[in-house]
A and B are shown apart, each in its own frame.
Chain A
């Protein structure tokens, strides 16, 4: 994978090259300056030495004006190739080399530096003391060799600088590699560790203290991380175990709660059925006694008795089994349809003067249930509401709509938060309930109705069904004003339908 960024090697190369912008001119000009200085010193020393040598020779001549050797000495300057001009100036006249003309002599005695006057000649004057008098030897040396040496110095400076640059360019990758390679090795080891090979040693072979320190720190960090990770792993395992344990406890609790509810319900049904069986058995027995011994009805009544005894057996058998809603029997069910059917069914037994209203929203989603359960749910709520009406002119309003859990409901039932819900609301304007009654309405066999008018099982059945369907039921009630039961059931979401299809 291509990565945007700099490698250490490239960064070092760039840095060193950037440094050369300062170093190279300094190196070049410094070199040239030193070479030129050296040339100049050599030229001057040589010129002065030569002039002094001539002066020494001239000082040995007694009378320079008369001795022809003076001319020879002056000519030797030009003949040697070093000088361009020579003359000896005395108080009584000027003795000129025979090889130069008066016009060659310039009107100055000594040049201050090489290159003065643009005549390629450097003039030096030295004193000459003879037995007769004091003279001044003036010699003009050729500057051309000095200039040529300087040109060579420029070239040499350039060559040396270029050679330095070439050597640097050759060395740079090597230097970069020397620094970067240990880091790359460390990086590879780090990747191995990151990939799970915890045995990989994080070390570095380098003479750079910072890098060896870094590697040691990383290795220590790795060891600590290994320790922390193991500890974390153990904690996770422990947490998983306790979570599993908690779930199992919860399941047990739910199961035992279900059994309690089932036991309570079965007990109630048994009680009702057994009470019904008492008069059946006793009256049948009395009827048999009252009939003439040859009555054909006796056999029929004995069959009634036998059936009643069988019923008794069945009741006790039913009691032996816990009832449980089979989740396999739950299917996406249209609650609106069930609600309409239930209300149609109940209307017949409702006082004609009582008003029953039904409001069903169009976009009501289905719920996971079955028609039987929802029928039981709505019939019990209906029956409860109608019986709460104070007089026959009361009103019961059913409303069914799509809903979401508000903060209060989410707080009580976190599982319903952020879910699409279906809300069935049953509102009556009956006598309402006090706080004590509200606390107990879902208890099995709790009833406020007159003796023989109700079993007290209806709302506990509602509660059981709602709980089995993973829903919630809330009740609001005000004495003398009425009650509102709100049942929330999770909306069925068809996972095979994608959001694109829904859109």
Chain B
């Protein structure tokens, strides 16, 4: 069974995603902070990391950078709520999801998925990411 680690600070988001992926046949473990997630990564053997980007404390981009340094083979999917908002020339680093998702890709994420997404979208993206070599 494929091991998936999910980091998100929102409990309902974590649990709903975990349930969907479990039903799709993945073994999902969850963490509510970047620090807790990194600690679990050190102990377990995961093939996919799904991480939220905007979280209090250490954010998802930092998590992805750290994971990439330790593990070059793990698949990473960044997820974040928000959208492409505001004037085009304005993308504050602190909050613009697009800027964060861009930063996540640069940090080493293999895929990005914008919240909210449907069950089918989620399962399809995870499946295609894991099959890709």
Contacts and interface: CB of A to CB of B under 8 A. Distances in A.
Given A275-B10, A279-B12, A447-B56, A263 B86 contact: yes
Most buried by A among B82, B90, B118: B82
Nearest to A319: B85
A337 to B, nearest CB: 35
Nearest to B99: A267
Interface string A278-298: 111111011001000000000
A322 B83 CA distance: 14
B13 A270 contact: no
A370 interface: no
Contacts of B32: 451
A260 B86 CA distance: 8
Interface stretch (A7-15, A199-207, A218-226, A308-316): A308-316
Contact of A259 (B10, B23, B87): B87
Contacts of B87: 259, 263
A462 interface: no
Contacts of B55: 451
B95 A277 contact: no
Interface in B108-122: 114-119, 122
A320 B122 CA distance: 26
A320 B17 CA distance: 28
A282 B94 CA distance: 28
A452 interface: yes
A286 B94 contact: no
Contacts of B51: none
Given A264-B95, A268-B95, A281 B116 contact: yes
A263 to B, nearest CB: 3
**Which of B13, B57, B97, B116 is packed against the most chain A CB atoms within 10 Å?**
B116
B10 A452 contact: yes
A445 B95 contact: yes
Given A260-B90, A286-B23, A451 B81 contact: no
Contact of A270 (B17, B85, B90): B85
B20 interface: yes
B81 A270 contact: yes
Looking at A264, A273, A276, A282, the one whose CB has the most chain B CB atoms below 10 A away is A282
B96 to A, nearest CB: 6
Given A275-B115, A278-B13, A281-B116, A451 B57 contact: yes
B117 A285 contact: no
Contacts of A278: 10, 12-13, 16-17, 81, 115-117
A446 to B, nearest CB: 9
B9 interface: yes
Contacts, number: 122
Main secondary structure of the interface of A (DSSP, over half): helix
B54 interface: yes
Contacts of A312: 116
Contacts of B127: none
A264 B57 contact: no
A50 to B, nearest CB: 134
Interface in B10-68: 10-13, 15-17, 19-20, 23, 32-33, 54-57
B118 A285 contact: yes
B85 A263 contact: yes
B86 A285 contact: no
B88 to A, nearest CB: 11
Contacts of A266: 85-86
A56 B85 CA distance: 150
A178 to B, nearest CB: 80
Interface in A227-283: 256, 259-260, 262-264, 266-268, 270-283
A282 B86 CA distance: 28
B19 A270 contact: no
A449 B11 CA distance: 17
A334 interface: no
Contacts of A319: 82-86
11 contacts: A260-B90, A260-B92, A272-B81, A276-B12, A280-B116, A281-B117, A285-B119, A316-B83, A319-B83, A451-B32, A452-B11
Q: Give the 4 A-B CB pairs with smallest separation, nearest first.
A: A274-B81, A263-B86, A319-B85, A277-B116
